[in-house]
């Protein structure tokens, strides 16, 4: 990716950006923070799910010592939340969320950076560094994965993460605590990256935000259609689906399912026309449009919010500057800004020049290959993932199952009306837990009736057992644990 885009590296024999059909933008000279080559033949992004999991896996590394300013980022802060049984209803975490077996499990990444978990970590100065790290993880998910995020917010959040990483990266060079640790422990040059995220993750963050801005500039100039901003498709899963759909175009009565590259390109054009029709359908309310059948598990609108009325009037520089100010606010409590002020890296232009020099130095250094090896050694081997995991499907199916159903009669249950045994929590919703406002009468034997925050709720028996036990490391709805248990018995 870095070689093709020319991000601080070049291929002497491959000059794709010099082809006549390449895209070209003309960034102002004041954009010292923009590092991408202004002429590109192809635009791409790091797979959003892999980027999220790589960011999460870094905090789980046994060799990494992530340090932001004077504070450490550690998974122990999350384990401390799990140690208190009274907090289970607040954060809805289990041990497998903090330290999952499958390092490519995307659902656990969303759970550890949920608003409830972030609110608990934000309360203490000791855990603020972990809060910031997980807050950036939430920004990455919103910027590149969630469908309802507007394009303005995507640009704002992506560059906020980039600026935080840049300030974090530069501050480590002048961090007295890090320097002392390196001197005392005699840490070698290629192991000093353990205080920061991996090179692959950092370069992915940089390349993604640059390509997103590049795309938005082309769309604003009307060189590309607005559907090109559907960055959710810039991942491996849609690419694999494209091959499956291309093979499906052979027809059920066609015996030859393989095809040449020319045939694939021809079928891809057909798929592109079909996707344009689907996009037009999702973005218009006309009743006379073509209606496409949709699987019941994918009824949720996966169309991206493209802000067709705002993209052409959007001020990109204003958004980037606002993201830089927000990044400084996030780092204010960690002592990073004072270090940057002392070393002339506090302003945007000064910071950009130092970051540019730092990246170029790492690329040209003889130990760069060793740094990459060390970073790659800290990562677990990637496994195939499916964002619609069984656990997520079951919980979504459970929520659908309890819609539009009548509540029990209050006189059928013995409920404490005095409020002495009432459960008080700061949560306003209980997504991911079997706690509902109403349940089917046929399932009345599987639920307890209790009062939470003054309201009558119905809690599943297994969820109640999970709340009252300290040794249960998984939610009751987790199918994986039941499958493993059944396999061992057989």
- Are the C-beta atoms of 230 and 56 separated by less than 8 Å? no
Distance CA 359, CA 199 (A): 10
- Are the C-beta atoms of 52 and 140 separated by less than 8 Å? yes
pLDDT at 64 over 80: yes
Q: Retrieve residue 49's tokens.
A: 């799910």
Query: Any idea how long the chain is?
Result: 490
pLDDT at 371 over 70: no
pLDDT at 318 over 90: yes
Q: Retrieve residue 207's tokens.
A: 């390349």
- Are the C-beta atoms of 37 and 17 separated by less than 8 Å? yes
| Nearest by Cα to 384 from 99, 103, 101 | 103
Residues 7-16 pLDDT 10s: 887 777 778 8
pTM above 0.85, yes or no: no
Q: Retrieve residue 252's tokens.
A: 């059920």
- Give whichever of 137-141, 260-264, 283-287, 436-440 has the largest mean pLDDT: 137-141
Q: How confident is the model at residue 438 (pLDDT cuts 50, 70, 90)?
A: confident
Q: Identify the residue with better confidence: 331 or 62.
A: 331
**Averaged pLDDT for residues 64-81:** 90
| Nearest by Cα to 304 from 278, 268, 286 | 278
Helix (H) or strand (E) holding 113: none
- Are the C-beta atoms of 55 and 197 separated by less than 8 Å? yes
Please provide the DSSP assignment of 68-84 as one string.
Answer: ETTEE--THHHHHHHT-
- Give whichever of 129-143, 282-296, 433-447 has the largest mean pLDDT: 129-143
Distance CA 392, CA 399 (A): 11
pLDDT at 365 over 50: no
pLDDT at 92 over 90: no
| Nearest by Cα to 98 from 398, 83, 89, 138 | 83
The predicted pLDDT at position 406 comes to: 37
Q: Which positions ≥6 away from 250 have C-beta within 8 Å?
A: 256, 257, 259
Q: How confident is the model at residue 490 (pLDDT cuts 50, 70, 90)?
A: low
Phi and psi of 419, rounded to 5°? Answer: 90, 0
**Averaged pLDDT for residues 22-49:** 91
The predicted pLDDT at position 415 comes to: 47
Any idea which of 53-67, 183-197, 343-357, 454-468 has the lowest mean pLDDT? Answer: 454-468
The residues pairing with 465 across neighbouring beta strands, listed in sequence order, are none
The residues pairing with 40 across neighbouring beta strands, listed in sequence order, are 23
Q: Retrieve residue 476's tokens.
A: 């009751």
Residues 215-270 pLDDT 10s: 999 999 999 888 788 888 787 777 778 888 888 887 766 666 678 888 888 888 88
Distance CA 231, CA 209 (A): 11
- C-alpha distances in Å from residue 2, one per residue of 43, 100, 134: 11, 31, 26
Q: Retrieve residue 114's tokens.
A: 């949920």
């Amino acid at each position: 990716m870095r070689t093709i885009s020319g991000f601080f590296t070049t291929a002497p024999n491959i000059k794709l950006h010099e082809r006549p059909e390449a895209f070209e933008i003309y960034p102002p000279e004041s954009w010292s923070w923009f590092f991408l080559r202004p002429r590109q033949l192809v635009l791409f992004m790091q797979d959003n799910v892999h980027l999220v999991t790589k960011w999460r896996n870094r905090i789980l590394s046994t060799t990494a010592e992530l340090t932001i300013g004077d504070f450490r980022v550690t998974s122990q802060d999350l384990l401390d939340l799990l140690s208190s049984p009274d907090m289970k209803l607040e954060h809805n975490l289990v041990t497998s969320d903090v330290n999952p077996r499958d390092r490519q499990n995307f659902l656990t990444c969303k759970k550890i950076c949920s608003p409830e978990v972030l609110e608990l970590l934000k309360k203490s100065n000791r855990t603020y560094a972990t809060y910031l790290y997980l807050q950036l993880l939430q920004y990455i998910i919103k910027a590149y994965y969630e469908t309802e995020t507007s394009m303005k917010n995507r640009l704002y959040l992506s560059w906020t993460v980039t600026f935080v990483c840049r300030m974090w990266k530069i501050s480590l060079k002048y961090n007295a605590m890090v320097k002392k640790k390196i001197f005392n422990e005699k840490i070698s040059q290629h192991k000093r990256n353990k205080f920061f995220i991996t090179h692959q993750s950092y370069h992915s963050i940089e390349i993604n935000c640059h390509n997103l801005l590049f795309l938005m500039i082309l769309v604003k100039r009307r060189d590309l259609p607005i559907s090109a901003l559907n960055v959710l498709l810039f991942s491996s899963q849609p690419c694999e689906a494209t091959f499956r759909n291309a093979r499906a175009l052979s027809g059920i009565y066609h015996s030859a399912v393989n095809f040449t590259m020319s045939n694939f390109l021809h079928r891809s054009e057909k798929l592109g026309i079909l996707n344009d029709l689907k996009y037009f359908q999702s973005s218009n309310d006309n009743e006379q449009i073509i209606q496409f059948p949709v699987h019941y598990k994918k009824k949720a609108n996966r169309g991206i919010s493209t802000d067709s009325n705002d993209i052409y009037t959007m001020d990109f520089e204003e958004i980037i500057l606002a993201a830089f100010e927000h990044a400084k606010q996030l780092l204010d409590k960690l002592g990073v800004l004072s270090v940057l002020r002392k070393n002339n890296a506090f302003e945007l232009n000064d910071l950009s020049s130092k970051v540019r020099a730092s990246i170029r130095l790492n690329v040209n250094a003889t130990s760069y290959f060793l740094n990459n090896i060390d970073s790659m050694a800290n990562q677990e081997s990637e496994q195939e993932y499916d964002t619609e995991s069984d656990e997520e499907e079951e919980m979504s199916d459970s929520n659908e199952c309890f819609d539009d159903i009548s509540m029990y009669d209050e006189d059928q249950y013995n409920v404490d009306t005095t409020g002495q045994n009432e459960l008080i929590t700061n949560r306003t919703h209980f997504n991911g837990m079997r706690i509902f406002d109403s349940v089917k009468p046929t399932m009345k034997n599987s639920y307890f009736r209790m009062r939470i925050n003054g309201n009558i709720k119905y809690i599943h028996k297994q969820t109640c057992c999970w709340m009252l036990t300290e040794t249960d490391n998984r939610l009751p709805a987790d199918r994986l644990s039941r499958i493993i248990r059944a396999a061992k018995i057989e």
